[in-house]
Structure 1
Amino acid sequence: MSSITTRHFLQSAGILLAGLVLAACGKQEPPAPAAGASAPAASAPAPAAKVYVVGTDAAYVPFESQNDKGEIVGFDIEVVQAVAKKAGIEVKFINTPWEGIFNSLNQGDRDLLVSAITITAERKQTMDFSTPYFDAQQLIAVKKDSKIAKFNDLKKLKVGVQNGTTGDEVITKLQGKDSPNIKRFEATPLALKELEAGGVDAVVADNGVVEHYVNNNSGTQFKTITDASFSPEQYGLAVKKGNTELLEKLNKGLADIKTDGTYDKIYAKYFGGAGAKAPAAAASK
C-alpha cells in the first residue's frame, strides 16, 4: 500500500471541511408532509352582515317617494336610515305597493315596513310595531269655494281616499262599506288630483300628506278642514309578529335619534320647526 503524504491529507481534509460549511449555511427547506397527511385548512371567511329589507310604498310624499333618479327618498326613509345607523344594522329599501305590503312582511319577503303606517289594534294582531315615531290625524281636503265644514257633511258626497288606509276606514264607517260614493285610489296624490279635476267633492287622508300637497300645489286652490271626530293616530315601524330581536334594535335606534337631536333635524327638513311629533310612548288605540 502506498503511504498518504501529509500534503495529500491536508488537501483532503480541507475539501471535506468546506463541504460541511456550505451544507450548514444552505437554505433549509421544510420537510414535505408525510404521504396521506392533509394540508392545514385555510380560515373560513367571516359571514356577511345581514341586510334588512325594508318595504315601503314610495308614493306618499313627503314620507316616501322616488326622485328623478329612481331613488326612494322621504321623511320615513331618513328616519329608518338614522335608526339603522344607531342600531348598527344595514337596510335596503324596496318599493312595495300598499295593497300587498303587509303580506310581504308576513311571508318573509320584507324584514320591516315603513310607510306612514298607523298603529291600530287590528294591525297589532298580525304584526308588531316599534314605539311611535310620528303623530298624525285625518284631514279633509276640499276646494276653497266648497261649503263643506265638517266630517258629517261628507255622508252623501263623493269622497276620494287611498285604498286600505285609515282615511278609507273612517269614510267607510260614515257612508257604509257598499257606498258607491267612496272613490278609492292607489295613492293619496291621485285622489287629490281627482279632487282638482272635480271628480270627487273631498279627499280624506293623513294630515302630513294633504298639507304637503296643498303647500306645494298652490294652483289647486284647496283648503283643509279638521274635525273633532278624528282620533289621533301614530305611525310605527312594523316587523313580523314575534321578531323581538329586530324590534329591540329598532326601538333602541329610535330612542337614540330622539335623544341626540337627529330626529328633530329630519323633522324640520320636511315639516319645519322642531320635531315635536316624536312620541316616545307606544300607541294606546
Structure 2
Amino acid sequence: MKKWLTIGLVVVFVVALAGCGKAKENTEGAPEEITYSIATDASYAPMESMDKEDIVGLDIDFLAEVMKEAGLKYEVRNTGWDPMLLSVKAGKEYQAGISSISITDERKQTYDYTVPYFESENMIITREGSPIKSALDLKDKKVAVQLATTADTLMSKIMGNDNSSLKKFDSNTIALLELQKGGVDAVVADFVVILDYIKKNPKEKFVSIEDKVNFTSEYYGILLPKGSDLKAKLDPAIKKVVESSKYKEAYKKWTGKDLDTTKLLEQYK
C-alpha cells in the first residue's frame, strides 16, 4: 500500500507542476485573452480629452482601429502626463501609453516606441496685434508650455531653462488658461492643440503663428516599456491603419484638415 500511495502522490505532484507552466485558461479550456491597459493624459484636445466620463479624440479613435486590426483587447485610462510616463516605464499596471507622445532620441533611451502614426509640429498662440512673429521673438516674453513636452525642450533652449519668464505647467489646458487670463504673452504647443483652442474660443481673438525654421516636424508614436512584445504586434497594424480610409475620416473629424501621409509614410522605409 505504501508503494502505491507514494506513486500516486508523485503523479499528482507532477501533474500539479505541469499545470503551473500553463497560461491561465477559461472554463472552456482556451487560454484567457489578455486585456492591455493603456494610459493617456486626456487634456490634449482634439487628440485626447474627457467628454463627461468618456475619453475621446483622434488618438482614441486611431487606437481603436489599431487594436481591432491587431486583434487585441484593451482599455484606456486617464492617468495624467507624468503618471503615464512613469507607469509605462515600469510596464506593470500599464503596458502602453498614447497621448500625442513625440518620438525623441532622449525618450528612446528609456522607452520603446511603435512606428510613428502622426506628423506634428509645435506652434505659437498669442493675441491679435502681438509683435510676436517667430519663436525667437519669444526670448524676452512670458511664455507657457506643458512640462516635459517637446515644446518645453524647444523653449528651454531658446529662452534658457532657468528663465523665470518660461512658465511650465502640468497640462496645456492650464497653460492656455494662463494665456487667456493674461499671465503670459504666448503658449507653445502642438499645432492641433493650438488650432482647436482658437476654434473653440473665437471671442478671445487669438492667432496662431507657424515657425518652420525653429519648429520642425516631429512624429507621435505609442509609448512602450523597453523590450515590450507589443511593438511586434502593433507596428504592422499601425502601418495598415495609417493608410486606411478610417484614419483619414478620423483625422478630418478631429482636426478639420485633410490627412497628408507623404512624410509619415517615408518614416516606414
Identify whether the pair has TM-score above 0.5, normalized to the shorter chain. yes
Q: Distance in 1 between matches of 2:195 and 2:123?
A: 9
Kindly provide the CA deviation profile for residues 42-98 of structure 1, in whole angstroms up to 9, marking residues without a partner as x. x86323210011010011101111112x11111101111100000000110011111
* Structure 1 alignment gaps of length 5 or more: 1-35, 37-42
Check conservation: 1:131, 1:281, Cα contact below 8 A.
no
1:259 is displaced (CA, Å) by 3.4
Aligned equivalents of 2:207, 2:175: Cα separation in 1: 15
1:282: how far off? Answer: 3.6
Per the alignment, residue 28 of structure 1 pairs with none
1:231 to 167, 192, 216: 216
The answer to whether the 8 A contact 1:138-1:167 is kept is yes
Match of 1:53 in 2: 37
**CA offsets, 1:23-59, max 9 Å, x none?**
xxxxxxxxxxxxx9xxxxxx86323210011010011
Work out whether residues 113 and 237 of structure 1, in 8 Å CA contact, stay in contact via their aligned partners in 2. yes
Superposed counterparts of 1:39-50, under 5 Å: 45-50=29-34
Q: Contact 2:128/2:207 (CA < 8 Å) preserved in 1?
A: yes
Shift of 1:218: 0.4
Q: Which residue of 2 aligns with 1:154?
A: 138
Q: Does 1:80 align with 2:59?
A: no
Root-mean-square deviation (CA, aligned residues, Å) is: 1.8
- Which whole-Å deviations, capped at 9, do the CAs of 1:102-159 have from their partners, x for residues lacking one? 1101112211110000000011111111111111111011100211111111111110
Further displaced range: 252-261 or 146-155: 252-261
- Give the counterpart letter for 1:160 in structure 2: A
Q: What residue in structure 1 maps to residue 15 of structure 2?
A: none
Partner of 1:116: helix, strand, or coil?
A: coil
Structure 2: runs of 5 or more not aligned: 1-7, 9-26
TM-score by length of 1: 0.80
Q: 2:247 matched to 1:263?
A: yes
Structure 2 counterpart of 1:126, which letter? T
User: What's the offset of the Cα at 1:281?
Assistant: 4.2
Q: Confirm whether residue 241 of structure 1 aligns to residue 226 of structure 2.
A: yes
Calculate the TM-score normalised by the size of structure 2.
0.85
- Give a deviation string over 1:219-260, Cα, whole Å, max 9, x none: 1110111112112111011111111x3112111111221333
Paired-residue identity, %: 37
| CA distance 1:277–1:210, change in 2 (3 Å) | farther
